[in-house]
Structure 1
């Protein structure tokens, strides 16, 4: 008895970089018909990247004049409600490989409507801006110890993303931080969906950051678009400017341009490189 095998188009894209093997690699899987959630999770686990995006057209076929797509994101362990770098990667595939003719791509997601467009050789994402909450949540001292933090300038939680951000004294502390991920995973962090550290920096960037989420199977994410919806809100208030340049100081590193809009939205702008394309069989 022969098994019916499906071949799905799949890509790997390095996001928020113009150099191959830098930035944050994301998988992009094209679904011309629906598949079960557990199969998507299995594919994401097989890709073993921080996130794999799953794209399907709302009108059930990939044609050049389609510009509305369902978009979901999976880590190797769980589905997540928002992912910036995998959205940028998905947009790169649609514009470069499927030659979407529309100036704007609309995504239907669990975080509402998101959009993307090309601006010269970059992708511009339109995401909801998050709001920092500075009190009303417990500060887990054991978590701070596991991350390696004894002192900080500020700490806050994203109202919508529920990401915890810790503002350290200087950028050297951000770069040198060496968290104990195994200890972090043992702690009860209910109400928190990932942890970022940040600091201001002089030079080409306004601030730097790093992002850790071992609870979702990502010890350190190379470049994290979603946490910048919170970081942008925080740093724009501190610096008194609406256009920011950010660097995520992971081993691979990545650059993001951030532009605040008047309607509590944020444009996240980045480069991309498509490094791999082929088929995955299920």
Structure 2
């Protein structure tokens, strides 16, 4: 019997509370309406809240920002898998199969590390957007367009990524409302760093963006000549992500921790 009232807040891509990226998770049945999902997501006011519905073939999963539904979300998928394992709905030796609007996802668990198989995103080099430096704070060396309207901008200097201070209103009106900025890392045992901004979705900066690695993994795998890599998302909360390039898929690995559980009173 599904409890439509329980909601969990999970910090994903970290094993430390109040770090990584927080996501809401609810396990619901088919009676939970789209309208109510959007209301709950707006009330939670997190970058994403996931709604998981058990099915004969695994679980259907949907993701809502405070303002809209998203086809795919990495950190909310990781958070949802964490809750399913935590509640014992699936054993730790079992895989979890999610069906999302953005693709079919498989999650496995090894100790406290969860691995997610996601589809690889396309990358097409594009011209430098006008006024990028004035809007974001640095001049990229390469710019790519990717799936779901993402723009990926590369810098040669890691400090450009850390110090960037975008103008979010100008981003939205200049085609940069979904932006990843990234560079090779100077840190030992870190391959690349990234920050992600999505003001067009009501998320100025996302703390850790699992689905971003659908584009970043093949990009950096090609540039670094490596299949397995480690990334830091250098937002204020920070997050640690291990990735592997697997042809048409990417493997995204991370940890998660439940911060609280609550009950709807409506």
Task: Place the TM-score, normalised by the shorter chain, in its bin.
Answer: over 0.9
Alignment match of 1:240 (pick from 221, 225, 228):
225
> What aligned pairs does 1:3-152 form with structure 2 within 5 A after superposition?
8-59=5-56, 68-101=58-91, 103-135=94-126, 139-142=128-131, 144-149=133-138, 151-152=139-140
Task: State the alpha-carbon separation in 2 of the partners of residues 120 and 128 from structure 1.
Answer: 24
Task: State the alpha-carbon separation in 1 of the partners of residues 75 and 157 from structure 2.
Answer: 26
Alignment match of 1:180 (pick from 135, 147, 167):
167
Decide whether aligned partners of structure 1 residues 164 and 117 sit closer, same or farther in structure 2, where only a CA change above 3 A counts: same
Task: State the alpha-carbon separation in 2 of the partners of residues 106 and 7 from structure 1.
Answer: 20
Decide whether aligned partners of structure 1 residues 7 and 96 sit closer, same or farther in structure 2, where only a CA change above 3 A counts: closer
**Contact preservation (8 Å) 2:46, 2:65:** yes
2:260 aligned with 1:260, yes or no? Answer: no
**Contact preservation (8 Å) 1:7, 1:281:** no
Task: State the alpha-carbon separation in 2 of the partners of residues 144 and 47 from structure 1.
Answer: 34
**Contact preservation (8 Å) 1:26, 1:50:** yes
Runs of at least 4 residues off by over 6 Å: none
Q: Which is greater in Rg?
A: 1
Task: State the alpha-carbon separation in 1 of the partners of residues 225 and 12 from structure 2.
Answer: 28
- Residue 153 (structure 1) aligns with: 141
TM-score, with normalisation over the residues of structure 2? Answer: 0.93
2:156 aligned with 1:169, yes or no? Answer: yes
- Residue 214 (structure 2) aligns with: 229
Provide Cα deviations, 1:47-104, integer angstroms capped at 9, x if missing partner: 0100000001114xxxxxxx70010000001101110000000000001123413611
Task: State the alpha-carbon separation in 2 of the partners of residues 176 and 200 from structure 1.
Answer: 15
Task: State the alpha-carbon separation in 2 of the partners of residues 70 and 128 from structure 1.
Answer: 17
* 5+ long unaligned stretches in structure 1: 1-5, 60-66
Decide whether aligned partners of structure 1 residues 142 and 78 sit closer, same or farther in structure 2, where only a CA change above 3 A counts: farther
**Contact preservation (8 Å) 1:161, 1:193:** no
Task: State the alpha-carbon separation in 1 of the partners of residues 29 and 255 from structure 2.
Answer: 27
Task: State the alpha-carbon separation in 2 of the partners of residues 144 and 30 from structure 1.
Answer: 43
TM-score, with normalisation over the residues of structure 1? Answer: 0.88
Decide whether aligned partners of structure 1 residues 155 and 113 sit closer, same or farther in structure 2, where only a CA change above 3 A counts: same
For the residue of structure 2 that corresponds to 1:227, the secondary structure is helix
- Residue 204 (structure 1) aligns with: 189
- 1:45 is displaced (CA, Å) by 0.5
- 1:7 is displaced (CA, Å) by 5.4
- 1:193 is displaced (CA, Å) by 6.3
* 5+ long unaligned stretches in structure 2: none
**Contact preservation (8 Å) 1:27, 1:86:** yes
For the residue of structure 1 that corresponds to 2:5, the secondary structure is strand
